[in-house]
Amino acid sequence: MPAHVIVGAQWGDEGKGRVADWFAKDADIVARYAGGDNAGHTVRVGNDTFKLHLVPSGVLYGSTINIMGNGMVVNPLKLVDELRGLDERGIDIDPVRIRLSRRAHLITPAHIALDGAREAQRGSGKIGTTKRGIGPAYTDKAARSGLRTGLMEHPERFAPALREHFNRKNRQLEALYNAEPIAVDQSIDVLVEAADYLAPFLADVDFELYEALRAGKSVLCEGAQGTLLDIDHGNYPYVTSSSATAGGALTGLGIGPQWVDRITGVTKAYTTRVGAGPFPTELDDERGDRLRGTGANPWDEYGTTTGRPRRCGWLDAVVLRYAARINGLTDLVVTKLDILSGFDEIEIADEYTHHGEPLAVFPSEADTLDRVEPITLSMPGWQEDIMSVTTLADLPQAARDYIDKIADLSGVPVSLATVGPARHQSIPIAD
Ligand code: GDP
Ligand code: IMO
Ligand code: MG
């Protein structure tokens, strides 16, 4: 298989990390194509839980090469911490198997300060960003004033470029936001030290991917965030700043479309969202609380990156059909089916109305999405604990019917369902 794209079909946190880990066992290369350390991908291996923010999930398989693509924004201090943390836990982080594009963009402490200052200025209209500096770093990229990862190989140019960057950003922070300036010398010192650590990981990853694909190697493209957080196709402005959809896998890695033969959308069996913005099927009642959990279980709905409680609601097939169209999904993975055990009835939104009229096309305006009325259908739930089920035949009939309904409403076959965070808690579904 040449390139297989894994993409979030909702608002992020669908379980992409564990799904990428599942498919990584058959991949030669795992490549992240978008976002930065706003992502938090949880992978359980045996009794160990890994929360990956920048490094692709394939790192947990010894034989895999792991690529961070040009579509990413990378905070060098966070990447050093993540690599050191993996090293301490016995994961092989040799630069031979961990490759960072020279064309990715850097996140600095000034981007983080600007992220916080811009959110404060937005007041009640805030996006609820992860405050990791994502938006300001992508802003600089688009404005052609960004700092690229490749600079880290050239200390004689890196330090002056950083000084110029901090001076410019400090003027913005002080004049536009009345915010504290960044300590320039100290910030340069730590970034230059991080650059020294990271330089051996830098590579022309687009070339390496091309050579690998031509040699018949298989590449798993690991998405971050989700379709509804995509800068173009998400519900703007309540989005992140990267191309989180399948098209982003091509531009974010520098590979041509002819290599891609599978595009797997990952969806939870229900819906969650962190941060602000419209959410048609959100449940503000005890059913939403039940989906969220109390925080007692590691999989309860509290953010991997920020710890914020996630907003929860029913599955939204209108969103899934939109994700299927925008990404060209070939199949769906349904995660966290176990969380629905114990509901008498489960609902799925199948249509939106707006001012009483059915909407034919997924709305482009956040304001419209905020005002739609979801029309839901109801299905009987199941009471059994399904966390130890490993075959479709052993799932309660109501759970099998629910999976069939998801395929039916989304128009995309379901290839895998998961019933717990561990590798073995996965149920392959033959079509
Ligand atoms: P990602 O950002 O898409 O990789 O998803 P996150 O890791 O942020 O959030 C998914 C959470 O659900 C993590 O805590 C996972 O360990 C957990 N998880 C994934 N699949 C399942 C599942 O099938 N059942 C349960 N109970 N937890 C799961
Ligand atoms: P993974 O890869 C869920 C959300 C933030 C906020 C918006 C913009 O783990 O699925 P940003 O910091 O990117 O400028 O924030 O996007 N967001 C995510 N939500 N999962 C993520 O990543 C997210 N990355 C960003 O909560 O609403
Ligand atoms: Mg996450």
Q: With contact defined as beta carbons under 8 Å apart, do 271 and 316 qualify?
A: yes
Output the domain CATH number for residue 423: 3.90.170.10
- Domain end, chosen from 182, 198, 214, is at 198
Indicate whether residue 421 lines ligand 1 (CB < 6 A): yes
Q: With contact defined as beta carbons under 8 Å apart, do 328 and 284 qualify?
A: no
* 326 and 402 share one domain: yes
pLDDT (0 to 100) of residue 293: 95
* 147 and 259 share one domain: no
* 297 and 340 share one domain: yes
- Give me the domain span that covers residue 72: 3-102+203-263
* 336 and 359 share one domain: yes
Q: With contact defined as beta carbons under 8 Å apart, do 309 and 293 qualify?
A: no
* 230 and 183 share one domain: no
Neighbouring-strand partners of residue 309: 302
Ligand 2 mean position to 394 CA, how many Å? 35
Which residue in 423, 8, 4, 5 sits closest to 234, CA to CA?
8
* 91 and 173 share one domain: no
Maximum Cα–Cα distance across the chain: 66
Mean pLDDT per 10-residue run, the chain (431 residues)? Answer: 94 97 96 98 95 96 94 98 98 97 98 97 94 98 98 97 98 96 98 98 98 98 98 98 98 98 98 96 97 94 85 98 98 98 98 95 96 98 98 98 98 98 94 57
- CA separation (Å) from 182 to 107, 112, 163, 170? 14, 10, 11, 6
| C-alpha Rg value of the chain to the nearest Å | 21
Neighbouring-strand partners of residue 345: 380
- Domain end, chosen from 263, 279, 314, is at 263
Kind plus residue range of the DSSP H or E element containing 371: helix 366-371
Of the bound ligands, which one is closest to the alpha carbon of residue 335? 1
* 27 and 118 share one domain: no
Indicate whether residue 222 lines ligand 1 (CB < 6 A): no
Ligand 2 mean position to 38 CA, how many Å? 6
> Is 111 one of the annotated active-site residues of the chain?
no
Q: Is the pTM of this model over 0.85?
A: yes
Q: How many CA atoms lie within 13 Å of 188's alpha carbon, on the beta-carbon side?
A: 15
Ligand 3 mean position to 85 CA, how many Å? 18
Residues lining ligand 2, CB < 6 A?
Answer: 8, 12-13, 35, 38-41, 127-130, 132, 134-135, 224-226, 229, 240-241, 274-275, 304
> Is 41 one of the annotated active-site residues of the chain?
yes
Q: With contact defined as beta carbons under 8 Å apart, do 25 and 61 qualify?
A: yes
- Residue 376, φ and ψ in degrees, nearest 5: -110, 155
CB contact set of 318 (below 8 Å; sequence gap of 6+): 280, 349, 350, 351, 352, 362, 374
- Domain end, chosen from 177, 198, 219, is at 198
Q: Pick the catalytic residue from 4, 21, 37, 41.
A: 41
Q: With contact defined as beta carbons under 8 Å apart, do 226 and 248 qualify?
A: no
Q: Ligand 2 test: best mutation among 229, 272, 273, 336, most atoms within 8 Å of CB?
A: 229
Which residue in 189, 34, 32 sits closest to 109, CA to CA?
189
pLDDT (0 to 100) of residue 308: 87
Indicate whether residue 304 lines ligand 1 (CB < 6 A): yes
Instruction: Report the number of distinct structural domains present in the chain.
Output: 3
pLDDT (0 to 100) of residue 62: 82
Q: DSSP letter at 181?
A: P
* Token pair belonging to 120: 């404060």
Ligand 2 mean position to 252 CA, how many Å? 17
